[in-house]
Amino acid sequence: MEVAREVKRRAEAMFGRCEVYVVGSFARGEHRLSSDFDVLVVAEGIPDRVDFEWYYDVARRLVDEEGVNVHLLSPSSFARLEKMYKDRVRVE
């Protein structure tokens, strides 16, 4: 969870108020040694549509560890896709 808290700290510095969740196998408690660690960031400053270069640049500024995947969604995109992220743990 320390990685997720660092992502939240960096995301708040970039976007202001945001919600950050651990998602995927770690949120479900089904992770294995080979599992990636998935972190979802939901923030007003994230556009509904982004190009790859923007997404990659932001993701790399949020996390610099191997095996960590950052998902970036605007609140409206999150509202549409929330069912995909039903297994999530909020990072405080």
Tell me the H-state helices in the chain.
Answer: 2-15, 25-28, 52-62, 75-81
Q: What residue spans define the domains of the chain?
A: 2-90
Rounded mean pLDDT of 16-39? Answer: 90
Please tell me the predicted confidence (pLDDT) of residue 1.
80
DSSP-derived letter for residue 74 is -
- Model pTM? 0.92
Which fold would CATH assign to domain 2-90? Beta Polymerase; domain 2 (3.30.460)
Residues belonging to the chain? 92
Residue 12: pLDDT over 90: yes
Q: Which residues of 28-59 are buried (b: 16+ CB within 10 A; e: fewer)?
A: eeeeeeeeebbbbbbbeebeeebeeeeeeebb
Instruction: Report the distance separating Cα 33 and Cα 21, nearest Å.
Output: 20
Instruction: Report the distance separating Cα 86 and Cα 47, nearest Å.
Output: 22
Rounded mean pLDDT of 80-87? Answer: 93
